[in-house]
Structure 1
Amino acid sequence: MNGHALHVLLEFAFFYPLAMSLVWMSGGLIYFMRWERKEPSRVKPPALSSYPMVSLIVPCHNEGEQVRETIAYLAGQTYPYFEIIAVNDGSTDDTGEQLDELMKEYPELRVLHLASNQGKAMGLRAAALASKAEYLVCVDGDALLDPYATHWLVSHLIDSSRVGAVTGNPRIRNRSTLLGKLQVGEFSSIIGLIKRAQRVYGRIFTVSGVIAAFRKSALHDVGYWNTDMVTEDIDVSWRLQMRHWEIRYEPNALCWILMPETLRGLWKQRLRWAQGGSEVLLRYGLKLLRWRQRRMWVVAAEYLVSLLWSFDMATIVMLWFLGKFIDLPQEIRVDTLLPEWNGVVLGMICMGQFLISLLIDRRYEARIGRNYYWMIWYPLVYWMLTTATSICALPKAIFKRKGTRAVWTSPDRGLR
């Protein structure tokens, strides 16, 4: 490595997050001006031309502490015509017993029991095949679905026959620690803004696994969820769009979820997300080279460049660390990792991004602005975590044997 190569690494480390922040901000603002600003109040969704039956699907594995609340919120949907299908996927706690009791309380509830842990994808497939409806709304076992969420999601599926899936707007329930507060801002200023921008630019990287609606005929077209992918939501999103089904984002479809509030839990979750992204890139990368898949090129390129950025950052950190113990040549020496003028510029852009996203999100959570202070610390935490998980996840994805079943592991639900 020479001085010119180090200069390129440093420039890329700075300009990539800067460019992506500008892309996300511009796309988010375009989305807001084009669709969001004109929408009626969230508590009064527009009337639909028809109200076809919807299946509300919730796969469960060891969700005994949450499942009663989850089912109660599903049963409280304002949408007039739905059934609830809960899948007890080999739970070792009392989830199955609780679900059987809940059937007496909620006549619209059906329960499928799988004898052993088959994984979320298999649970979703079983429920989809048992469903009586063409439209499916899938949530996680700890999710509390907003009463109007089904209405908002189904409106897109009715609007166009080419819409294969709609992703909702997850909100964080647990906010008792710094990690919890940071994730409130993350889901608003990063995840929500990215989905808005991707909706504007044509393709969405992934539906949210905790809340998404699907057209069953679209799922049948792509073979439903793959059981050997660690993130079934990313995988099915790519396959739907590669078959030219449209995916939309609906910010009014709120869903309150639990997130990790320990470093260990957050690491495991983000490592799984990073591995899932790498898996779909490795599995479908060559297929995306076809001209027919050109609308997916931006999504794939964005993820590939983010991987390169992670390795770029790791190289810079490694050179700085080695320089503390080895007398490196001056042209490849990294003297400091502390922000200089470019770090200040990047920080200001990030805070501008956070401000824009929080102002937009006030429509859905009036007091979300009080989390703005905590976002000062977010760039450091997020970029460090992204770098580390991306680097560790890539070899896991490369050496994972195809066909290996992805089964449940009990996640960190945080503190409440």
Structure 2
Amino acid sequence: MLFLEITLLVLYGLCLVFILGFSLTQFQLTRLALRAYAQGLPPEPAAPVSWPRVTVQLPLYNEVFVVERLLDACAALNYPPDKLHLQVLDDSTDETVGLVAARVAHYRTQGLRIDHVRRPDRQGFKAGALRHGLELTNGEFIAIFDADFVPEPDFLRRTLPYFDAPQIGVVQTRWGHLNEDYSLLTELQAFGLNAHFYLEQVGRTSGGHFINFNGTGGVWRRTCIEDAGGWHTDTLTEDLDLSYRAQLRGWRFRYLPQVVAPAELPAAMDALKSQQFRWNKGAAETARKHLGTVLRSNQTAATKLHAAFHLLNSSVFVAILLMAVVSVPLVFVRADLPQLKPLLQLASVFLLAFVPLIYYYYSSWQLDKPGASSWRFAPKFLLFLSMSMGLTLHNARAVVLGWLGRQSAFIRTPKLGLVRRQGTWRGRRYRTGSLLDGVTILEGLLALYFAGGIAAGLYFGDWGLLPFHLMLTVGYSLIFYYSLRHRN
């Protein structure tokens, strides 16, 4: 039995070390970002003497609730009409097709160059659509917006000047949130995404490390796409895949936190889970594809380290899940084997691995809501951390499938046209699968399992893992609750 207890402790410790390494890289990125903000953003480059040809690609699949909003926003882009081309890459199978056709016809009568591109099938999903569209346009630069985005009219005029050097391959902008205040679910999503866009992307750029095109809300130089090998369809994160292939070939990316591309956050749990599955599985697939190449490249040691943790970002969920499951029996081990107490003290330093993350998310909070009370930050951070822990089973499954190379369909995140607190998710179509599946049932059981960990800690007077088990219980309970609530 002693061997089993030591094995559990070693597994816990290894997971903790990996999480601590990830947290420390986020801490360094935060410092780099804050230093960049303190120095001031670089001045905006002068507008080009002659504006280049730009194609705006809009990949769609069954987006009844948001497609007209998207087309109206893109038709309003303030750019020389003889240099602008809108491509609606429509793979829809419902009445979205008719809505697009009507809008395209309307804007063509106004002199806008806009095409409604239909493929015979969805081969390659979004990446396949983007690749197909590229063959049908002469644009020198390619802007991409997902269906839920609403770009401002000056988007192209604010981003194109930053391609002021031939090696600049991408200009990425910060995502805004149309419905952040809609519910607790959307507030917590915005909280997490803001840290990525306010700090992580800025820190990577400032440190000269690899960043990623975020799939939408950005502009590519066409020759960069082609030089890097074009859009590949072998991962669910075609954006991250192409970003790494391009940067490994020497292309530079620019990130503009001052330019915001507003978008809608998923308001229902099934939509959030489908998005999380795609992002986390795709990240693991991309890590499987590129991690070895990155480590063998001629990049600096710091860039390799940051790239490794960037690619392994989704794998953190596996580490947290393993550590969480192991932590409950550790409460009993600690009570039964007092001779292992010095080693078991490691189990109680769980929260120390998350101290750098407090700094990371608090800095983001201050940038997004300057002057906001710190008392408002604490509960939101704890709820966000708990919710993230509650998604570990779902996300860890996606990561494992990605590392194993298991192929799966690109399930897009359905959007509902929600703005602020207006609209509802009830009675809407575009389900992404049954919510009461095996994973959801296991999430409910894990909530009970970690509640048992709380009870065991209280019984034995062991308070070391109580905060961890409390957050896990809250997180899994929230995920299970929303999964049941959003079934209709």
Contact 1:261 1:414 in 2 (8 A): no
TM superposition shift of 1:313 = 2.8
Q: Deviations over 1:321-359 (max 9, x none)?
A: 33577886453897998xx78738946x54543343244
2:6 partner letter: N
Matched, 1:343 2:348: no
Q: Deviations over 1:51-109 (max 9, x none)?
A: 112111101110122111101111112233422111111x1112222222112322222
2:329 partner letter: L
Distance in 2 of aligned mates of 1:231 and 1:359: 30
Query: What TM-score comes out, normalization by structure 1 length?
Result: 0.83
Structure 1 residues 408, 392: CA separation in 2 closer, same or farther (over 3 Å shift)?
A: closer
Q: Any residues of structure 2 matched to 1:6-405 within 5 Å, and which? A: 8-9=13-14, 12=17, 15-16=20-21, 18-36=23-41, 38-39=42-43, 47-80=47-80, 81-89=83-91, 91-106=92-107, 107-118=112-123, 119-157=125-163, 159-174=164-179, 175-294=181-300, 297-303=304-310, 306=313, 309-323=316-330, 329-330=337-338, 331=340, 343=351, 346=354, 350-361=357-368, 372=377, 374-385=380-391, 387-400=392-405
Contact 2:274 2:413 in 1 (8 A): no
TM superposition shift of 1:394 = 3.0
CA RMSD of aligned residues (A): 3.5
Distance in 2 of aligned mates of 1:14 and 1:124: 35
Q: Structure 1: which 5+ residue stretches go unaligned? A: none
Specify the SS of the correspondent of 1:214: strand
Distance in 1 of aligned mates of 2:67 and 2:28: 39
Contact 1:121 1:226 in 2 (8 A): yes
Contact 1:204 1:248 in 2 (8 A): no
Distance in 1 of aligned mates of 2:36 and 2:263: 24
Matched, 1:2 2:6: yes
1:183 partner letter: Q
Distance in 1 of aligned mates of 2:305 and 2:78: 37
Specify the SS of the correspondent of 1:286: helix
TM superposition shift of 1:135 = 0.5
TM superposition shift of 1:379 = 2.4
1:2 partner letter: I
Distance in 1 of aligned mates of 2:101 and 2:59: 14
Structure 1 residues 24, 231: CA separation in 2 closer, same or farther (over 3 Å shift)?
A: same
1:379 partner letter: L
Structure 1 residues 300, 260: CA separation in 2 closer, same or farther (over 3 Å shift)?
A: same
In our comparison, the structure showing a higher alpha carbon Rg is 2
Distance in 2 of aligned mates of 1:368 and 1:116: 51
Query: What TM-score comes out, normalization by structure 2 length?
Result: 0.72
Structure 1 residues 369, 248: CA separation in 2 closer, same or farther (over 3 Å shift)?
A: farther
Distance in 2 of aligned mates of 1:311 and 1:60: 32
Q: Structure 2: which 5+ residue stretches go unaligned? A: 424-488
Contact 1:229 1:279 in 2 (8 A): yes
2:414 to 408, 411, 416: 411
Structure 1 residues 345, 61: CA separation in 2 closer, same or farther (over 3 Å shift)?
A: closer
Structure 1 residues 368, 73: CA separation in 2 closer, same or farther (over 3 Å shift)?
A: farther
Specify the SS of the correspondent of 2:209: coil
Contact 1:178 1:374 in 2 (8 A): no
TM superposition shift of 1:34 = 4.1
TM superposition shift of 1:390 = 4.9
Distance in 2 of aligned mates of 1:381 and 1:120: 29
Specify the SS of the correspondent of 2:233: coil
Q: Deviations over 1:261-312 (max 9, x none)?
A: 2333222211211111111111123322434355752343214664665444
Q: Which deviates further from its counterpart, 371-380 or 147-156?
A: 371-380
- Who is 2:460 aligned against? none
Identity %: 21
Aligned residues: 401
Structure 1 residues 257, 374: CA separation in 2 closer, same or farther (over 3 Å shift)?
A: same
